[in-house]
Every structure is written in structure tokens, then in C-alpha cells.
């Protein structure tokens, strides 16, 4: 190699070396500027003055203590978050990047205060306002009870669940919902106040409606379904058939008689029922319980033929009789007319009481009407069966006065056999206005049987028939024109009534008292005075006797005598 070439190579090497050194210097200068710019940019980004309270930052966990977690958010100092804001302490890892909320730029100690909880709430609120709207379905967990309802956690944010929106049925204890998680519908979002109102009830109702629609399409008459008793009324029971309500009417609960559905079921009971009818337009379903069992009335006519002796319990009393249960689902009626041979029963409680065990005889069966007629008097001898032979007409007997009425006296001939003495059959001659004038309750009197009506259970008696009827012989014993004696029993404006010696009452008309002038009847006669008079007229049909004191005096030429009227006869002073 020539010197010139060697020289050239040296320069080339030197130049190359200079170029490498210069390139390195340039690269070093570029890297330095880059780092400087990054530092300056970082410093600019991390400037506390450029951040605002409430901003969400990204930070890295750089330290974990007993009470706090230190987060590097690229500022001059780390921020602290209370460790209680982390649900699980075991999930806190050094170097993990998390989002934090800038709570305070600088607290009293000059420290940055951060919050992880508020960051999650802020993100949740942003999510809700961006992706959720009123009517959206979210999951939530009941945190605590507050006035009027529950506070619900929906992904880190609290929402209010009113008490009326917790369930679609009555709630006994709201505390049982705390810590439970369920689907909720957002029914109101207040952007200004950042609060949310949710409803569980609407979710349940939507689910129920969906189930109801499906069930109405699926079920058919005759299906057997299970349901829960959700409401009890006087007329029946409402069952929840897993979203579809059905009515079990009281008449379809059992073949036997019940007064109220609560006698058979309670709220919350599970029943297996049969579908009786479906109204898809109105969404109504009629249910049956008794239809699952054999109808005891199917063989009623063979089992309880007329004349069959039965035994049962009195289950109900009504004005017209008593119902007796002879087997579950089978009741018969004992009418008041079939309770006693001898008593006029107007109230069944006179003979039986509710709960009594009685024996009866089947009188008739009407399967189609579901009726059985029973009798209890048929279990005893009918005392009226041979009453005609035991009490023939015109028989004299002794009876006891049981009761007095305006029209007569009821008497007892023997236990269970009563009769009536009519007021008109008490006396041939006395004008009796009420039986109490001659009789009183408890008296024992002799009487004559006048008639016996076995079918109507009526016996009539008479007292006056024990003696001869004086009207039959009156014309022979005191003919017209004869002179009679008697006592004045009553004075009226038209005359004086006189009771004669034979007991018959006659009337002395005012015109037959005297031929002398007088002002009033009392001027001539007075009550209880004894007189003599002439018989003027006898009316057997109407039982009337007309008398005359004046004619008696004329016939005897004694008009001037003062002793004709034995007592209290008064002549007009001239």
C-alpha cells in the first residue's frame, strides 16, 4: 500500500470515528430531550392545578398498610384510600392499576385524598345514564331498611325501593328482604339529584302476566293443578296457580255443608284442584276440589231408601227445621212438622239443639234436588193413632186448664193430647165475654168430648154439656104469661137485665118497668134488687126472654103496693 493510500485510510478511519462520535452525541441529545419532554409532559399532566375535585384518575397501588392503600396517580405525592373501601383485602395487589376519585386536592395535612368507592359510583352513574333508562331491568341487593322502604345496591350505587314496590302481596316483615338480591325495574331517574327509584313489584307483575298468558294457553278443563291459597273470602278461595289466579267457590270445596271456606283451608296452604272452566278473555279460571272425590249423592237413593233409620249430628238450625249430617257431604232436613206428634213446634230449638246426636227415619229422597226429608217423631208411638177409640164422642173426662185465650180454654187430656173448650161451650145461659171469668190456669174441670179430628189433631170439649140445656124446656117450665122471680144483674138505658131462678137471663124493657112516670131506670129498680115479673115473650133461637113488671102489677091489681119490688123499688112521687 502506498503512503498516499495509507494516509487516505487514516483519514477515513478518523472521519468515521468522528461521525460515530457525533452520531452518538446526537442520539444522546435526542434521548435526553425525549426524556426531558416526557418529564415535562408528565409534570404538566400531573400538575395539581390542572385537576379538579370529582375527577376520575387512573392510579397504581404502590403501598398497602393496615388502614390505607397508597395510590400513585402521577402527582408529586401519592394519594391515600381507606382500606375499608376495598371489599376484599386479599384482592389488593401492589402494582395493580385502578380507577380512583379525586376527593380532595389537598387535605389539612397537605395530602391528596382519593376514593375508590366514589369512583365506582361515578362510573355506575355514568353507565346508568348512558345505557339504562326508566323501565330497564337491573340486579340489586337490599342493603338496609329506611323510612318508607329499602336502600338497594345496584352495582355500587344506591337506589331507593319503596315499601309499596317490594312485593305484589302483603309483606309481614320488611327485614326479611335485607341482603337478598333480585331483579328490579328502574321506574324513575333524577339526573339532578343523582338518585334512582326502582321497583321489584313491577318485575314480579310482568313475570306474573307472562306466566298467566302462557298458562291460559296451556291449561284446559279437567286438568289437575296445584295452587297456593292467597286469599280467603266469604264466597270462596283464590289460589295462585303459579302466576294465574283461580277461584275455588265455597260450593265446589266439599260435598258437605260449610259456613265459611276457612273451615277447610288457611292462607298459604297448597291445594291440588281440578280446572272446571276457563274464560280466556277475562282471564278467569274456576276451580274445584270436591270434584276430585266421588259424589256421595250418586248412590243416595239405594243407600237411604224411605223408612231407613239413620243417626247423625244436628249441624244447623233454621226457622223451618233442623239439618242433620248423616255422613260427610250428606245432610237431611227435619222439618218442624216432623219433630213431634203432640207439640205444635214453631222453633226447632224447642226440640233439638245444634250439635245434638239424634236418630231419625228417612221420609223421602230427592236426588236431583239434593234433598233428604227426615223425621224424628216417627221414632216414637203416635198418641193420636187410636185417639178416637180412647176418647169417643160424649165421653165425660177430667181435664187440666193449660192456657186461656179470648176464644176459649186449651186443656190437656193426657201428655201430648190437648183439646179446646170453646167459650161458647162453657155455659148454656151465661153471657161470658172471656174464659177467665169462670176458669183459671191449672184448674181441673169435668168436660164432655164433643168431637175428635185425628188428621188435624183437634179435640173439642164442652162444660155446659154436663147439664141439661134449660132452653130445651123453658117453654114448659116458664111459659108466656107465667110469673117469675129474679135478681137485677145489670141496668142499662133501655132497661134492666134480670137473672131468673133457673139461671136464664131476661130483660125488662124500660117501657115495662112501670105505668108511672119516671126519669131513669134507677128510679124504679137498682142492681141486686129482687123482683117479680110476668113473662111476655120467649125467643129460643136467639135465647131471649122478655119480662114485664108493669104487667105483673096490673094482673095482680097491686099497682099501689110498695112491697112488689122486694128491695129498692121506687115510685114516682106525685
Q: What is the DSSP string of 88-133?
A: -GGG--TT-EEEEEEEESS-TTS-EEEEHHHHHHHHHHHHHHHH--
Give the pLDDT of residue 363.
94
Is 101 part of a structural domain of the chain? yes
What is d(CA 248, CA 235) in angstroms, rounded to the nearest whole number? 9
For residues 449 and 459, is the Cβ–Cβ distance under 8 A?
A: yes
Q: Is residue 502 part of a domain?
A: yes
Residues sharing a CB contact under 8 Å with residue 256, sequence separation 6 or more, in sequence order: 325, 328, 329, 330, 331
Cell output for 31: 434521548
Are 374 and 358 within one domain? yes
Looking at the structure, do residues 360 and 317 belong to the same domain, yes or no? Answer: yes
Domain boundary among 173, 204, 235: 204
pLDDT tens digits for range 35-89: 434 444 444 344 555 677 778 888 898 888 888 888 888 877 788 888 888 877 7
Of 97, 119, 141, the position where a domain reaches its end is 119
Q: Do 75 and 115 reside in the same domain of the chain? A: yes
pLDDT, tens only, 75-125: 777 888 888 888 777 778 888 888 888 877 777 667 788 888 888 888 877
CA 101 centroid distance within chain: 62
- Alpha helix (H) ranges present in 438-548? 474-477
Q: Which three cell numbers stand for residue 248?
A: 275455588
Nearest to 2 by CA among 148, 443, 10, 340: 10
Alpha-helix residue ranges (DSSP H) falling in 403-473: none
* 48: Cβ contacts below 8 Å, ≥ 6 apart: 75, 76, 105, 106, 112
Same domain, 140 and 177: yes
Whether residues 276 and 325 fall in one domain: no
CATH of the domain at 144: 2.40.50.140
Domain ranges, residue 501: 472-555
pTM attached to this predicted model: 0.41
Residues 137 and 155 placed together within one structural domain of the fold: yes
Helix (H, G, I), strand (E, B) or coil at 285: strand
pLDDT value at residue 78: 84
Same-domain pairing of 461 and 391: yes
Of the residues 324, 358, 379, the one at which a domain ends: 379
Whole-angstrom Cα Rg for the chain: 59
What is the per-residue pLDDT across 143-201, written as a single tens digit (0 to 9) for each? 999 999 999 888 767 889 998 998 888 888 888 899 999 999 988 888 777 788 999 99
pLDDT by position in tens, the chain (length 574): 444 344 334 434 444 443 344 444 444 444 444 443 444 444 434 455 567 777 888 889 888 888 888 888 887 778 888 888 887 777 788 888 888 888 777 776 677 888 888 888 888 777 777 767 788 888 889 999 999 999 988 876 788 999 899 888 888 888 889 999 999 998 888 877 778 899 999 888 888 777 777 777 778 888 888 989 989 999 999 998 877 888 999 989 988 778 899 999 999 899 999 989 888 777 788 999 988 888 888 888 888 999 999 999 999 999 999 999 998 878 899 999 999 887 888 999 999 999 999 999 999 998 888 899 999 998 888 888 888 888 999 999 999 999 999 999 999 888 878 899 999 999 888 878 899 999 999 999 999 999 999 888 899 999 999 988 888 888 888 899 999 999 999 999 999 999 988 888 899 999 999 888 888 898 889 999 999 999 999 988 888 899 999 999 888 776 544 444 443 444 444 3
Pair 550, 476 in one domain: yes
User: Is residue 563 assigned to a domain?
Assistant: no
Share of the chain above pLDDT 90, in %: 34
- The verdict on residue 214 lying in a domain is no
Number of domains in the chain: 7
Quick one: 241 and 274 in the same domain?
Answer: yes
Kind of pairing, strands 137-146 and 158-162?
Answer: unpaired
Q: In this structure, are 550 and 478 located in the same domain? A: yes
User: What is the distance in angstroms between the CA of the first residue and the CA of the last residue of the chain?
Assistant: 218
> What is the spatial distance between Cα 273 and Cα 98, in angstroms, rounded to a whole number?
58
Does residue 176 fall inside a structural domain?
yes
- Same domain? For 514 and 531 the reply is yes
Using alpha carbons, list the distances in angstroms from residue 352 to 259, 336, 419, 495, 504.
Answer: 20, 10, 25, 59, 52
**146 and 196, same domain (yes or no):** yes
Tell me if 569 is assigned to some domain. Answer: no
Is 127 domain-assigned? no
On whether residue 568 sits in a domain, the answer given is no
Amino acid at each position: 500500500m502506498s503512503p498516499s493510500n495509507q494516509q487516505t485510510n487514516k483519514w477515513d478511519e478518523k472521519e468515521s470515528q468522528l461521525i460515530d462520535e457525533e452520531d452518538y452525541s446526537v442520539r444522546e441529545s435526542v434521548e435526553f430531550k425525549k426524556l426531558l419532554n416526557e418529564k415535562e409532559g408528565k409534570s404538566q399532566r400531573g400538575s395539581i392545578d390542572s385537576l379538579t375535585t370529582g375527577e376520575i384518575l387512573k392510579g397504581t397501588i404502590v403501598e398497602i398498610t393496615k388502614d390505607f392503600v397508597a395510590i400513585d396517580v402521577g402527582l408529586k405525592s401519592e394519594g391515600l384510600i381507606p382500606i375499608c373501601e376495598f371489599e376484599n383485602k386479599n384482592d389488593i395487589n401492589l402494582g395493580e392499576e385502578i380507577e380512583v376519585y379525586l376527593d380532595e386536592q389537598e387535605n389539612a395535612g397537605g395530602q391528596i385524598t382519593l376514593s375508590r368507592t366514589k369512583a365506582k359510583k361515578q362510573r355506575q352513574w355514568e353507565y346508568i345514564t348512558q345505557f339504562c333508562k326508566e323501565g330497564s331491568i337491573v340486579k340489586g341487593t337490599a342493603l338496609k331498611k329506611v323510612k318508607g322502604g329499602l336502600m338497594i345496591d345496584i352495582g355500587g350505587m344506591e337506589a331507593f325501593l319503596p315499601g309499596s314496590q317490594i312485593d305484589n302481596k302483603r309483606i309481614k316483615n320488611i327485614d326479611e328482604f335485607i341482603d337478598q338480591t333480585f331483579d328490579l325495574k328502574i321506574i324513575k331517574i333524577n339526573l339532578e339529584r343523582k338518585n334512582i327509584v326502582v321497583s321489584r313489584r313491577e318485575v314480579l307483575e310482568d313475570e306474573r302476566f307472562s306466566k298467566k298468558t302462557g298458562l291460559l294457553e296451556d291449561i284446559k278443563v279437567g286438568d289437575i293443578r296445584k295452587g297456593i291459597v292467597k286469599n280467603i273470602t266469604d264466597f270462596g278461595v283464590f289460589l295462585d296457580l303459579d302466576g294465574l289466579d283461580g277461584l275455588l267457590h265455597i260450593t265446589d270445596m266439599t260435598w258437605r255443608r260449610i259456613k265459611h271456606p276457612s273451615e277447610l283451608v288457611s292462607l298459604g296452604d297448597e291445594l291440588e284442584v281440578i280446572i272446571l272452566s276457563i274464560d280466556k278473555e277475562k282471564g278467569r279460571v274456576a276451580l274445584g276440589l270436591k270434584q276430585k272425590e266421588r259424589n256421595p249423592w250418586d248412590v243416595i237413593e239405594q243407600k237411604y231408601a224411605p223408612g231407613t233409620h239413620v243417626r247423625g249430628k244436628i249441624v244447623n238450625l233454621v226457622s223451618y227445621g233442623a239439618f242433620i249430617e248423616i255422613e260427610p257431604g250428606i245432610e237431611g232436613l227435619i222439618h218442624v212438622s216432623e219433630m213431634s206428634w203432640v207439640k205444635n213446634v214453631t222453633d226447632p230449638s224447642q226440640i233439638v239443639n245444634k250439635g245434638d246426636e239424634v236418630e231419625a227415619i228417612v221420609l223421602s229422597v230427592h236426588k236431583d234436588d239434593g234433598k233428604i226429608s227426615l223425621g224424628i217423631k216417627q221414632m216414637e208411638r203416635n198418641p193420636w193413632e187410636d185417639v178416637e177409640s180412647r176418647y169417643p164422642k160424649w165421653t165425660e173426662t177430667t181435664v187440666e186448664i193449660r192456657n186461656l185465650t179470648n176464644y176459649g180454654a186449651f186443656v190437656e187430656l193426657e201428655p201430648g193430647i190437648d183439646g179446646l173448650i170453646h167459650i161458647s161451650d162453657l155455659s148454656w145461659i151465661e153471657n161470658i165475654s172471656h174464659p177467665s171469668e169462670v176458669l183459671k190456669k191449672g184448674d181441673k174441670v169435668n168436660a164432655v168430648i164433643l168431637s175428635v179430628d185425628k188428621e188435624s189433631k183437634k179435640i173439642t170439649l164442652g162444660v155446659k154439656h154436663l147439664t141439661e140445656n134449660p132452653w130445651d124446656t123453658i117453654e114448659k117450665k116458664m111459659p108466656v104469661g107465667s110469673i117469675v122471680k129474679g135478681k137485677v144483674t145489670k141496668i142499662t138505658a133501655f132497661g134492666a137485665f134480670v137473672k131468673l131462678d133457673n139461671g136464664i137471663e131476661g130483660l125488662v124493657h124500660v117501657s115495662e118497668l112501670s105505668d108511672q112516670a119516671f126519669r131513669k131506670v134507677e128510679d124504679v129498680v137498682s142492681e141486686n134488687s129482687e123482683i117479680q115479673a110476668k113473662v111476655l115473650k120467649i125467643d129460643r133461637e136467639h135465647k131471649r126472654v122478655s119480662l114485664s113488671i108493669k104487667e105483673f102489677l096490673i094482673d095482680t091489681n097491686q099497682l099501689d103496693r110498695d112491697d112488689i119490688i122486694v128491695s129498692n123499688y121506687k115510685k114516682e112521687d106525685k
